Each structure stands twice: as structure tokens, then as C-alpha cells.
Amino acid sequence: MAQEMTNQNAAQAVQPVLSVRNVGMNFGGLRALSEVNLDVLPGEVVALIGPNGAGKTTFFNCITGIYTPSEGEVTAYPKNGKPKRINGMRTNLVCELGMARTFQNIRLFPSMTALENVMIGRHCRTKTGILGAVLRGPGTRREEQEVVDKSFEMLTKVGLEKLANEYSRNLPYGAQRRLEIARALATEPFLLLLDEPAAGMNPQETEELKQMVIRIREEFKVSVLLIEHDMKMVMSLSDRIYVMEYGRIISTGTPKEVSEDPQVIRAYLGEDSDA
Amino acid sequence: MSRANILRYLKQALVASLWLSFLTLPIMVIRVDTVEQTVTWRWMHLAYMAGGSFVLALIWYIMMERRDLSQAKRELETVERDSALMRFLSDPRFARPLMAFGLLVAVAFPWFFSLYQTNILISALIYVVLGLGLNITVGLAGLLDLGYVAFYAVGAYTYALLNHHFHLGFWAVLPLGAVMGAFFGILLGFPVLRLRGDYLAIVTLGFGQIVRLVLENWGSFSYGPSGISNIDRPGLFGISYSVEQATTYMYYIMVVLVLLTIFVTARLKDSRIGRAWLALREDEIACQAMGIDNTRAKLMAFSLGATLAALMGVVFAAKTTFINPASFTFMESAMILAIVVLGGMGSVLGVILGAFLLMLLPEYLRAFSEYRMLIFGATMVLVMVFRPEGLVRAKRKVYKINVEAAG
Amino acid sequence: MEYFLQLFFGGLSRGSVYALIALGYTMVYGIIELINFAHGEIYMIGAFMGLIVAGLLTSLGWPALSVLAIALVISVLYSAAYGYTVEKIAYKPLRNAPRLAPLISAIGMSILLQNYIMLAQTPDFLPFPRLIPELAFMERFSNYLGTSDMFIIVTSFVVMVALTLFIKFTRMGKAMRATAQNRKMAMLVGVNVDQVISVTFIIGSSLAAVGGVLIGAHVGQINFAIGFLAGIKAFTAAVLGGIGSIPGAMLGGLVLGWAESFATGYISSDYEDVFAFLLLVVILIFRPAGLLGKQRAQKV
């Protein structure tokens, strides 16, 4: 819906929320990423697509501190803060800064309830310590109540309010994916990183997910960077798309531009057609 | 159960029993004296072994099939049902009076039972606290600490040495012991906590051994293997009292400490910190990616567990008035771990039950006591295989949501 | 110089036994990522089986060397059977359980086996029959290399060469290497993973039994608790060489043996075990991948 608003020219004028410059990543002799440049602008939905094994998840791991990039600069621009270089920053600090992610192979906390999973997201925005937790004074109680309320609100946003007290291991697959998004949202991010959120969903669930992401973006004024294989969803949801192959960005632009790029067509239909 | 099934079980059990009898034959039957060059044959043992292993194998196979069935069923059902006992225990209408009754029994105990019984109960209560402490580290935060008893030793030696050299009393050292425990917890915890689960277990085991060996060998500091004796019992405003009164006093101190520990762990379990520990246990990477400082959370769990262990160490030294390094072996750590595992990792009620079961049963079933450690070992294996959640499954808090407030 | 040589060969024989036990840890870890805590107990059971068979045969008046050979063979067979059974009872049902479950089960198994031997045999130290005769031609080395040391070194060497050849050239050896690299893939290409795991336990236990009998004969006495310390030290050796690596375990065993031998010989023997534990802690903290191993990236 907001596709026309942002285009390449605007990218230079507005300050981005995330800027990635010449990032490369080596594992021993293996070059997993090289010279990756990528920007996410405020309020944008940006998709990162590419064949399996292109390095998309590695890229996510590089910008969230799970790996330290071998070279290049990753800079985040928090809402009211100074730009911050986040190469190799500890993962929890990246999250605290305001970049929250989901995982390709769902990583919930199985023996905690759905609500508690979201409450974990509130951890870095609250501060009760051991003593406070034991004494449970008025301050702690207020904070705890706020955590519950906020977390429940997030569950409502992803449509899981009825399953709040269910153990997350017992939730259906689609619900688990949405719960991961709620958990990430609870950390109050300015940038939401979604790693294949629609994987394993049927077309109807995928459509609902898409509507949900649009709603969330509007309501929370959050930017979204997503990795996705479902082309229908990517094309209709994203403002801009980056295409990655063999660890390099081979094409970038609006969905229309990208889908007409011969490089992209070759990457998808040529040697690698498994996407 | 159909006849074909029963036959199959019997056959399986027979094969298993034959195999186990063959396996244990030389060790169970033959006893050689290499000095006198004589050999004793104890054929009766073979008969016991064959019979015993047949029955055990039969139970094993039946339970194994039930386990696989219930696992398959669990994958189909989304709603988990508790056992009748658990529903009974977690219903406040029954739980409240039950707790009150338990408290009454605990308070009245020394009036109705002998000194001997009270002493046994004090030991059991010490293990309740040790279990709850290790439950924080292993059960909640998922850090397998195999050197837990080292912190117990730290507390015991803190009191013993300060009492021996400076005549410091129990009440003065109790908080000091806790501080020492926390300090050592952080000191040892800091370097090891970035290690993965199983490596962490081995490193803590190594630390535990080092502490014991140092106590054994550094005679000028710790008085070596002969230990420290004549440690003062807890003082009561300078009043002198008999051994019997001292035991009763000690007992009430322990009851208070147990209640305190239960209160602390129960509150922590459903707090911001407790949730972070649980998340850490379930998935370290996701936990950190959601903004939790893993190192901090681990250190807190590790040192809190250590604090409780050191507290108990002080109590232990005051209770027995004599300590030496032999009380702080790996087997002691393993025993506490068995309590947590049997009771149910993460469950406060379970750990309390586990401590009473494992500490009191061998005391009262004398014939049993020789097989104590054998049974502990077997318990750990069997619980892991058949009921990994332990006696009492840890339950998470159910939140009542105020829908209007949440919007 | 003589003192140095004495420590050198002492360390070498000690280290060979560590290496024999360490191989069991490393192979099992390589395949199912489990610290087989009960492995030290298998070594202890090996020593006990050796003692029982040797005691039985000596009382019948058999010659020492043939007793040693038979004791070794029977001990290896029985220990292998124990290892196999332990895996089936305590680990196999936990293949898909959370990571700590099999480790706790292994600790339980270790305690169970220790107490089983203590109750069925004795809590005291038992003298081990003298099985290794003094060989005449060894006399001129006797100042720094005893016959039993030499015997341990040679036997361990032969066994380890045999193992290396087995892993390298046999079908089962290939299957084991494949399973260690990627269990799922190995299963997909038709490797019987359960069988590979069983064989791994059988081989590891056999090697530990060889170590147990040799040490029993060398030291002259055993009891039910010897497996604990030996197990921890051998595990240290395995980590030292990079856990999962077979040559690493051999190297790690030797390095640990020498380190211990020289440290106790030149520094102090009071803290012999403290030293081993310190090494364990330091290695795990600072170089958990071992001397040869490479750090592996975490899968996310």
C-alpha cells in the first residue's frame, strides 16, 4: 500500500533506521557474505530474498550480534538516539537498542506459557532485581502488572489472546510463528527482523500474516526487514526488495523493478530454481 | 492387556534377565582372595539376580511401552492434563489446609518425637534447602552444577574456622557465610558460565574436586583430613542449654530457614528474574536475542544457589560440631542432584518431596540404607527415562487478565 | 638424566592408559555428543573382571603370562557387554530428550555401577595378582623403565594402531566417521545408526578394559572407586586433544601423562590430583576445542 511513497531516490534523502555498508563474513575459508549494502528507511517494509543458502540468515545473524561480521559497517539509528555502530555488539544489547528478530526455525521457550514468552520480551524494558522480586514491593507489583498488561496487548495484536495461558509447545504451528512476532514486538523495537515468517503456512494463513504485518507497521511505526520465500507475499507487502545470491546483493529496487531484472530471473530460474 | 502381549513381555523379560545374569555372573558370584589364593563361589547371588532382573525387566518393558504410547498421544493432544493428585494439591481449597497442617506437624514435631528423630529431620531439612538451592541453578536456569557441594563446604569452613580462631558465634557467621557463598559463586561462576551445558557440568565438577582436595592437603589452613572439631552450637542470648535443647533449637532454626527458602524461591520463580532463568534454560540463543543478558542471569542463578548452599554449610557445621573434607565429596553433590531430579526440576514442591523421600526412606528402612547410593543412581536413570519432569511437574503461573485494562 | 627418563617413561605409560580410556569418551562424544559419565566405571569393571579371572586362574596354578592374556580377553569381552548394555538402558531411550537428560542419566549410571561393584565385591582395596613377569633383557633399563611400564606402552600402542586401521579401512569404521559428521545424513544414506552407536560403545569399553587390566597389574591394587578419578583424567585428555578427535585423544592422553609425571616429579606430589583438575578447568575455560580442534560456529 505504501509502495509508491518510498523509492530509491528517497533512500538517499531520509535518514535510515539501519544502514549496512560493505559487510562481509568469512567462516574459515568459506565466504558467506561479501560487500553487502542495505538500508532500511523509517516505516519501510524491506524484503531480503534469494535462493536457499544464499546467506540471508547469516546476514541476519551478522546484524543482530550472533556473528561478528568479518568486515564492513553496520549502523543502527534508534528513534531518539545517536547512530550506533553495532558490528559484533552483544545480541542482547542489539535487542535492547531496538532491533528484535524472529527465527527461521521457531525458537520459543516451550515450557513457558504464550503470555510468559511475550513477557520475556519485556525483560530489557523493566528492571526488577532479585531483591525486588523477593520483597515484591509496590514498585515491583506495578511493574509486573504493566508487563502482564503490555504482553497481553501484544498477544491480542497477533490474535493469540485466547491462548495466553497455554504452554507454547502446545500451540499450533502458525500460532507459534505469530507468538514469536508478539515476543519481538514486546521489546519495543524500531526495526523488526522477520526470518521466514510465512514458512510452513498455508495460503490463507500467509494472507492473514501479511495483513498483520501491515497493521503492526502502521500501529507501532516500526520498520520491517524480512526474509521470505513466498513471492506472492513479498511482492505485495514490501516497499523495496534486495535479492541475494551467493552472499552478494545482485539486485535491488521496488518489487516491480526486481521482478523484471534479468539477473534475478536467472538466479531464480537458471541454475537455482528451488526457491 | 491381551494374552499375546503378556507372552511377549514375558519373553522379552526372560531374555533380558538371562543377559543380565550372564553379565553380572562373575562379579556377583565369584569372590577371589588373591593373597590366600582362595576362591569363594556365591551361587545364591545368581538366583537373586536372575529373579530380580526378570521382575525388573518385566516392569521396564511394560513401562517403556506405556511411555512410547503416551508420547505419541501427547503429540496429538494440545491440552495437558495433570494427574488427580496434582489437581488436588494445586487446588487452594485443599492446598491451604494441607499446608497449615504440615506447618503444625513441623512445629510440634520435637515435642512428640525423640532426639534421634529430630536430628534426622534436621538433616532432611538441610537437604530440602540444598535441593531448593540447586533447583535454582539446575532446575530453573538449566546450569548443571556438579560441584555444588563446594559451596556447602565454603559455608561450613567459614563458620568452623572463624569459630575456631576468633570464637565468632553462629549468628554472626550465618550472614557472613551467605556472603562468602555468593562471593565464591561469582568468583567460580564468572569464568565458567560461557561454557555450554555439558562442559559447564564437568568444569563445576572439577572446581568441586579442587576445593575438596585443597581442604584435604592444605593442612595449615584447614587442618587437613582430620578436620575441625568442637565447633560451637548456635548461641541463644548466652544461655547455656543441654544437647537436647540445642537440637530442638537447631530444629526450629532449620524450619525457619526452610520456610524462608521456600518463600524466596517461590517468589523468584514467577518473577522477571525467574522467567529469564527459564528462558535461559529453554533456549540460550533466543533468550539473549530477546534482550536478556545471559551472563548476568546465569551469574545470579549460580551465586544464589551457592549462597543457599553456604548458608546450609554454616548450619551443618553448627549442627554436627565437627567437619572434615570427607563430608564434601562428589557423591554429596550427586545426592543433591538426585533430589532435584527426582522431585522435578524447577518445581519447589517436588524438590521438597524429593528431599524427604531420598533422605528419610533410607533412614527408616534400615535394610535399605546399604543400597542407598545404588538406589540414588538407579533413580536418576529411571526418572530421566520414564518421568523426566520428576514427581511433581513444574507448573507455570496462570495469569488472570483484566481485559479492560489491557484494552 | 636418568631421573628425567624415569619421569618420561612413567608419564608415557600413564598417558597411554589415559589415552586408552580417553578414546572411549571421544568416540562416544563424536557420535552422540554425550559425555559418557559411566565410562570410568567401565574401566573399573574391566579391572575387576581382570582381577577375578586372574585370581581364579592363578589359584589353579596357571602360568602368569597366559593368565594375563586370558584375563585381558575375558575382561574386554565383559566390559564391552557392559558398555553395550549401559547404552541400551540409560542412553538409547533418551536419544531425543533435552541435552541434560542423558548426562544426568549417565551420572546416575556411574553411581549405580560403582555401588554395584562395591556391594557385590568389596569396599576395600583388593590386591591385584602379579601378572607381568620381570623380563631378563629389561634389566639394564630397570632404573627408568620397568617391565610393566614397557608392557603398558607396547600393548596400548598396538591397540591404538589397530583402532586407527579399523576406523580408516573397514566399512564400520567409515560408517562411524560418517555418523560422527552428520547423523541425519548418515541415516539417509543407509547407515544403521543404532548399530554404529552400539559398536562405538563396544569398542570404547573394550579399550577401557584393556587400560583397567593393565593398570591393575601395574599398580597392584584396585577398588570400586578407581573409575571416577581415572575417568575424569581421561576426559581431560580427550578435551585436551579436541573432543571427538581420535588422534587427539591419543595425543591428549600422552600430554596429560607427561604433564602429571613431570609436575609431580619436579614440583610436588601432594597436589597431583589438584593439578589434573586444574588442567581440566583451565583447558575447558580457555581452549574448549582442545589443542588440535577448531572452534565450530554455532548453528542458529
Residues of C in contact with B214 (CB under 8 A): 274
Instruction: Compute the nearest-CA separation of A105 from chain C (Å).
Output: 8
CA dihedral C277→C280→C281→C285, nearest 10 degrees, is 170
Q: Between B127 and C183, where is the model more confident?
A: B127
CB contact under 8 A, B197 and C107: no
| CA distance readout (Å), C9 to B194, C13, C152, C211, C213 | 38, 6, 11, 17, 19
- Residues in a beta bridge with A113: A167
- C25, pLDDT greater than 60: yes
Please check the confidence at residue C22 and state whether its pLDDT lies above 60.
yes
B282 contacts in A (CB within 8 Å)? 108-112
Interface-testing mutation among B25, B66, B385, with chain C (most C C-beta atoms within 10 A): B385
| B309 reaches C (C-beta below 8 A) | no
A173 — contact with chain C (CB < 8 Å)? Answer: no
Contact of C250 with B186, CB cutoff 8 Å: no
Residue B267 near residue A98 (C-beta atoms within 8 A): no
pLDDT at B84: 67
Model confidence at B405: pLDDT above 50? no
Q: Do B24 and C300 touch (CB under 8 A)?
A: no
Does residue A27 belong to the interface with chain C, where contact is any CB pair within 8 Å? yes
Q: Check CB contact of B373 with chain C, cutoff 8 Å.
A: yes
**What is the nearest CA distance from B78 to chain A, expressed in angstroms?**
5
Amino acid at B251: Y
Q: What pLDDT was estimated at residue B110?
A: 84
Produce one character per residue of B101-133: b if its CB has 16 or more CB atoms within 10 Å, e if not.
eeeeebeebbeeeeeeebbbbbbbbbbbbbbbb
Residues in A closer than 8 angstroms to C297, CB to CB, are 27, 67
* Residue in A with minimal Cα distance to B295: A92
The pLDDT value recorded for residue B207 is: 92
Q: Between B26, B191, B214, which is nearest C285 by CB?
A: B191
Mean pLDDT value across chain C: 88
Q: A-chain residues within 8 Å CB-CB of C298?
A: 66
pLDDT score for A6 = 45
Whether residue B160 contacts residue B323, with contact meaning beta carbons closer than 8 Å, is answered with: yes
Tell me the C-alpha to C-alpha distance, in Å, between residue A256 and each of A236, A238, A241, A252: 10, 11, 9, 10
Residues 125-164 of chain B with CB under 8 A from chain C are 138, 142, 144, 146
Cβ <8 Å between C94 and B385? yes
- Report CB contact under 8 Å: B80, A108: no
- Mean pLDDT score, C259-266: 87
From the list B259, B317, B236, the residue with the least C-alpha distance to B125 is B259
Q: Which of residues 276-295 of C touch A (CB under 8 A)?
A: 294
Q: Quick check: A243 and A258 in contact, CB under 8 A?
A: yes
Return the pLDDT at A22. Answer: 93
B2 confidence band (pLDDT: 50, 70, 90): confident
Looking at beta carbons, which residues of chain A come within 8 Å of B136?
Answer: none
The answer to whether residue C210 scores a pLDDT higher than 70 is yes
Closest approach of chain C CAs to the CA of B134, in angstroms? 14
CB-CB: which of A123, A128, A140 is closest to B291?
Answer: A123
CATH number, domain C2-286, options 1.20.1050, 1.10.150, 3.40.1360, 1.10.3470: 1.10.3470
Q: What is the mean pLDDT of residues B28-54?
A: 89
Could you tell me if A68 and A135 lie in one domain?
no
Residue of C nearest to A103 (CA): C300
Give all domains of chain B, ordered by start, each with its CATH number.
3-76 (no CATH), 113-386 (1.10.3470)
Name the burial class of residue A65, with classes exposed (0-12), middle (13-18) and buried (19+) by CB atoms within 10 angstroms of its CB. buried
pLDDT at B361 over 90: no
Name which of B136, B260, B263, B290 to mutate to probe chain A: the one with the most chain A Cβ atoms within 10 A of its Cβ. B290
Summarize pLDDT for B235-255 with one digit per residue, the tens.
Answer: 776 677 788 888 899 999 999
Q: Which residues, other chains included, contact C181 with Cβ-Cβ below 8 Å and sequence gap of 6+?
A: none
**Cβ pair B384:C97 closer than 8 A:** yes
Q: B359 pLDDT exceeds 70?
A: yes
Which of A104, A107, A108, A160 is the best substitution to test chain B (most B C-beta atoms within 10 A)?
A: A107
Inspect the interface and report whether the beta carbons of B406 and A166 lie closer than 8 Å.
no
Are A199 and A262 part of one and the same domain? yes
Cβ distance of C300 and A66 shorter than 8 Å: yes
Please answer yes or no on whether C35 and B142 come within 8 Å at the CB atom.
no
Name the A residues in 82-101 with CB < 8 Å from any B CB.
90-92, 95-96, 100-101
Q: Which residues of chain A have pLDDT under 50?
A: 1-11, 272-275
* Total number of domains in chain A: 2
Do residues A6 and A239 make contact, with C-beta atoms less than 8 angstroms apart?
yes
Among A111, A148, A171, select the one facing B399 at the smallest CB separation. Answer: A148
- Taking CA–CA distances from C87, the nearest residue in chain B reads B381
Q: Is B41 exposed, middle or buried (0-12, 13-18, 19+ CB in 10 A)?
A: exposed
Report CB contact under 8 Å: A66, C298. yes
Rounded (to 5) percent helix, strand, coil in chain C: 75, 0, 20
Q: What 3-state DSSP class applies to C203?
A: helix
Domain range spanning residue A211?
Answer: 1-98+189-275
Position A8 scores a pLDDT of 47
Chains that touch B (3 or more CB pairs under 8 A): A, C
Residue B318 pLDDT: 94
Residues 131-160 of A with CB under 8 A from B: 133-134, 136, 140, 143-144, 147-149, 152-153, 156
Which residue, A188, A208, A229, sits at the end of a domain?
A188
CATH number at residue A237: 3.40.50.300
The pLDDT score that the predictor gives to residue B35 is: 82
Nearest CA in chain A to B279: A109
Q: Work out the number of other CB atoms within 10 angstroms of the CB of residue A98.
A: 22
pLDDT of residue A64: 93
Is the pLDDT at C297 greater than 70? The verdict is no
On the question of pLDDT at C195 being above 50, the answer is: yes
* Interchain pair B33, C98: CB under 8 A: no
pLDDT at C298 over 70: no
CA closest to B345 among chain A residues: A111
Q: Report residue B230 as a C-alpha cell.
A: 568442637
pLDDT of amino acid A68: 92
Identify any residues that bridge with A49 across adjacent strands, giving them in sequence order. Answer: A243
Residues A25 and A125 both lie in one domain:
no
> Across chain B, what does the average pLDDT equal?
88
Instruction: Give the pLDDT confidence of B193-241 residue by residue, as tens digits.
Output: 888 778 899 899 999 999 999 999 888 888 989 999 999 888 776 677 7
Q: HSE-up of A254 (CA within 13 Å, CB side)?
A: 13
Inspect the interface and report whether the beta carbons of A109 and B405 lie closer than 8 Å: no
Q: Which residue of C has its CA nearest to B29?
A: C120
Q: Where do we find the cell 578447568?
A: C281
Do A180 and A207 share a domain, yes or no? no
A240-245 and A45-49 as β-strands: parallel, antiparallel, unpaired?
Answer: parallel
Minimum distance, in Å, between the CA of residue C256 and any CA atom of chain A: 29
* Residue A65 sits in the same domain as residue A77: yes
Pair (A170, A238) in one structural domain: no
Is the CB of residue A61 less than 8 Å away from at least one CB of chain C?
A: yes
- Is the pLDDT at B33 greater than 50? The verdict is yes
In this structure, the number of other CB atoms found within 10 A of the CB of residue A235 comes to 17
For position B198, what pLDDT does the model report?
A: 84
Whether residues A67 and C294 touch (CB distance < 8 A) is answered with no
Q: Which residues of chain C have a CB within 8 Å of the CB of B341?
A: 104
Clarify whether residues A147 and A254 are in a common domain.
no
Report yes or no: A120 at the B interface, CB cutoff 8 Å.
Answer: yes
- Whether B39 and chain C come into contact, CB under 8 Å, resolves to yes
Last residue of some domain: A136, A158, A188? Answer: A188
Chains A, B: CB pairs < 8 Å:
131
DSSP assignment string, B272-309: HHHHHHHHHHH-HHHHHHTT--HHHHHHHHHHHHHHHH
> Does B368 score more than 50 pLDDT?
yes
The verdict on A209 and A90 lying in the same domain is yes
Q: Which helix (H) or strand (E) element contains residue A100?
A: strand A99-101
> C294 to chain A: which residues are within 8 Å by CB?
28
Using one digit for the tens of pLDDT, what is the confidence trace for B55-113? 999 999 988 888 888 777 766 555 555 666 666 766 777 878 888 888 888 888 888 88
Site from B265, B269, B272, B402 to mutate, A interface, most A CB atoms within 10 angstroms = B272
| Cβ contact C255:C237 at 8 Å | yes
Query: Of B196, B380, B385, which is closest to C107 when you measure between CB atoms?
Result: B380
